[in-house]
Structure 1
Amino acid sequence: AKRFEEFGLTSGNFDCVGFESNEDLVGFDNFDGLFKAIVGRLVLKIRYSPAFGKEEDRIFHPYYLKQYNCRWFLLGFDVKVQAIRNFALDRIKGFSVVDGIEYIPYSGGGFDEYFKDVVGVTIMENVPVQDIEFLVYDEKTYNYLLTKPFHSSLRLMKEYVSPEDPAKMKVTVRPNFELEAVLLRYADNIRIVSPDPFRQRFLARIRKILERNE
């Protein structure tokens, strides 16, 4: 809103700016209550329905709301697993405030720092930060990645010359599902070089795609 005011724009001006959104997003009606719980440092009992597994109640200390790929996530301390986890708002079926439990505050730094080594929101604590190196064989893909890097750590190691002399790039992150999903967008024009465990996992997903579509 402040940026709009700098340009002399108000809600009464003509339609000239669009933001990515999902009008049919399930669970966003919980946003206001979850935001207030974070600000008020309230412990919650959340009815959660994971993608895999049974719906259950979880005692949760909420810390942060984050949007990724038109989807909202609640980050906080999950008492059941004794670790920080994120819950997708569209999988939260309901929540209530729990009295009599002391709120456990977040003891780390800022959340920009917390998420800086991942693409998306999923942090695998047992997976170290790694250099994911890949070749880019297509000039359009190369130019696109230069102008729209999918992570702030993306670096050019070798410039593109031709399909026979491809570019080389690397991204320094903690591998997760979201990283694989992003790289799969470019799967027909890139080749993962290293590390080998990530390369093999990436190849396995491509083989599965081929099997499903043959």
Structure 2
Amino acid sequence: MSENRNAQYRYQVLDRCFSDWNNKYTIEDLLEIVNNHLYELEGQDSTIQLRQLRGDLNAIRKMLPNNVYLDAKPFEGKKCYYRYSEPNYSIYQNGLSVAEVNSLRSTIEMLGKYRGITGNVWLEDVISNLELRFGVKSDGENLISFQQNSGLKGLEYLSTLIDATINHQSLEITYTTHTGISSTNVLHPYYMKQYNNRWFIFGRIDGKDYIVNRALDRIEGISKSDVPFRKNDLVNFNSYFDDIVGISVPYGVQEAETIILQFSPGRFKYVVSKPLHTSQKIIDENKCIVAIKVIPTRELDQLILSFGPDVEILAPDRCRMNIETKIEENLKKYRSVHYDCMEKSMIR
């Protein structure tokens, strides 16, 4: 790590300590915290002494606006702790509180498990930036394997999208739908989610008042936009996906409905141990019947069809007929292939 980058990293670690009003950090505490982070990131040679730490404190003081102070406050006799005069203030203004930064630790740990996988060069940049910004070092020991698709298009945009989402930066995105329609719009990014081995960015198209999602593998290009970022005042992503299976939340007001499903005895045990949805309830254990309360989506159809003959929709009739139609269409294709093969075989 260069000397300048090393200093910036130290400032970020100290900045989080000074913003944290839930704890009191003495000069000894600060030195230990900074050196622990530096040791994890670069090794013993990068650690600092008390003199350098005091120099860092003075450098940070010069970065503060006139209405914010960094002072040593006495407690427990002769000891002093260091804290900004304003709670949750940050010289970096990354838009995240101390609690939110701490919550990212598990995410960074998880992402670190992908390191070393062929084709994941893009991820090295993501993890390094997160480690530098939030002072978290992912565990280098590979103990967990995650499902992945290293050949998926659009992964090169992941770092840019994560950064824009965190820093509230509007983006100009060129996107092509599954039907081949291409368009370029300004997107205000709010949330990222992985589903079925694909990544999706959720946000608002500039000038619109509803949430859209964009699959990364269909993005053709991204650039920063000068359009001022518009904060999310539309949905709460903590509950946005509660009533669906998958990521496609239908536009407009639509109520979740109860869907009754009957499984074969062998599959029933699997479904009980791995519920289709958080709302799942057992209706009749002897008959292997469960109920889920969701908004019907194409992802739900795909999930139900994935069980093949091991599941039957008992209610409501509309959902039952929808799956029945899809099965009939699929059966027509298989019959067509079978007859074509039979004719070719007879010709030979």
Sort the TM-score into its range (normalised by shorter chain): 0.7 to 0.9
Q: In the TM superposition, what whole-angstrom CA distance separates every residue of 1:55-81 from its partner, at most 9, and x where no partner exists?
A: 111221110110001110000012376
Which letter does structure 2 place at the counterpart of 1:70? Answer: N
The farther-off stretch of 68-77 and 198-207 is: 198-207
CA contact (8 A) 2:152 2:217 kept: yes
Cα distance in structure 2, aligned partners of 1:207 and 1:79: 42
CA contact (8 A) 1:44 1:96 kept: yes
Cα distance in structure 2, aligned partners of 1:194 and 1:79: 40
The residue that corresponds to 2:302 in the other structure is 181
1:11 aligns with 2:140: yes
CA contact (8 A) 2:243 2:294 kept: yes
The residue that corresponds to 2:79 in the other structure is none
The residue that corresponds to 1:163 in the other structure is none
1:152 aligns with 2:278: yes
The residue that corresponds to 1:25 in the other structure is 152
TM-score by length of 1: 0.86
The residue that corresponds to 2:51 in the other structure is none
Cα distance in structure 2, aligned partners of 1:93 and 1:53: 12
Cα distance in structure 2, aligned partners of 1:190 and 1:89: 32
Q: Write 1 or 2 for the structure with the bigger share of strand.
A: 1
Q: In the TM superposition, what whole-angstrom CA distance separates every residue of 1:10-62 from its partner, at most 9, and x where no partner exists?
A: 424xx542111111121011011011111221221110011014111122111
1:185 Cα deviation after fit: 1.2
The residue that corresponds to 1:204 in the other structure is 325
Structure 1 segment 61-80 matched on structure 2, within 5 A: 61-79=188-206
Task: Select the structure of larger CA radius of gyration.
Answer: 2
Structure 1 segment 91-106 matched on structure 2, within 5 A: 91-99=218-226, 101-106=227-232
- The 1:182/1:42 distance shift into structure 2, 3 A limit, reads same
CA contact (8 A) 1:132 1:170 kept: yes
- The 1:80/1:189 distance shift into structure 2, 3 A limit, reads farther
Q: What 5-or-longer segments of structure 1 have no aligned partner?
A: 161-165
Which structure has more relative contact order (CA 8 Å, sep 6+)? It is 1
The farther-off stretch of 124-133 and 57-66 is: 124-133
Cα distance in structure 1, aligned partners of 2:291 and 2:258: 6
1:207 Cα deviation after fit: 0.7
1:131 Cα deviation after fit: 0.7
Q: Write 1 or 2 for the structure with the bigger share of helix.
A: 2
The residue that corresponds to 1:167 in the other structure is 288
Cα distance in structure 1, aligned partners of 2:235 and 2:181: 33
1:176 Cα deviation after fit: 0.4
The farther-off stretch of 45-54 and 73-82 is: 73-82
Which letter does structure 2 place at the counterpart of 1:75? Answer: F
Select 1:86's aligned residue among 213, 224, 243: 213
Sequence identity percentage: 28
Select 1:114's aligned residue among 236, 240, 248: 240
Which letter does structure 2 place at the counterpart of 1:198? Answer: C
TM-score by length of 2: 0.54
